[in-house]
Amino acid sequence: MGIAALTARIFHRSLHDHWDEAEGWLALGATARESTVLRAREAVREALIPSIDQTRTTGLVVLPGAFVGAIFGGLSPFEAGRFQIVVLAAIIAAGSITAVLVVRGLGDVRTRPQAMR
């Protein structure tokens, strides 16, 4: 949910700040979605940064619950580590899909968004 909200917020703010560029694309005959594709990519990339940073530090600072649970469940530390990597990859994949679906839903913009307060 955090990735979805962050993606929408970044996309909205970026599109408001760079509306002249999007409007230029629209004036040249691009579709509404084509005119916002650069802002959408930027929003997806920036919204995933916190999750990627959290994934990068997992295991160095804290022992994740899935890892500890797998060890208590009888798995070897190697298998538990492999299980944790699969969990973290699934979280990043789900976040990526969510971010892309959010900008896909918001990308058909024909008028300048209002400034956020």
Residue from 11, 15, 3 nearest 48 by CA: 3
Token pair listed for 34 = 């084509």
* pLDDT tens digits along 90-106: 889 999 999 999 999 98
* Joined tokens for residue 66: 């899935």
Beta-carbon neighbour count of residue 93 at 10 Å? 10
| Alpha carbon distance 73, 52 (integer Å) | 27
Please indicate whether residue 34 or residue 55 has the higher confidence score (pLDDT).
34
User: Using one digit for the tens of pLDDT, what is the confidence trace for 40-81?
Assistant: 999 999 999 988 888 777 765 566 677 788 888 888 888 888
Tokens of 15: 């599109």
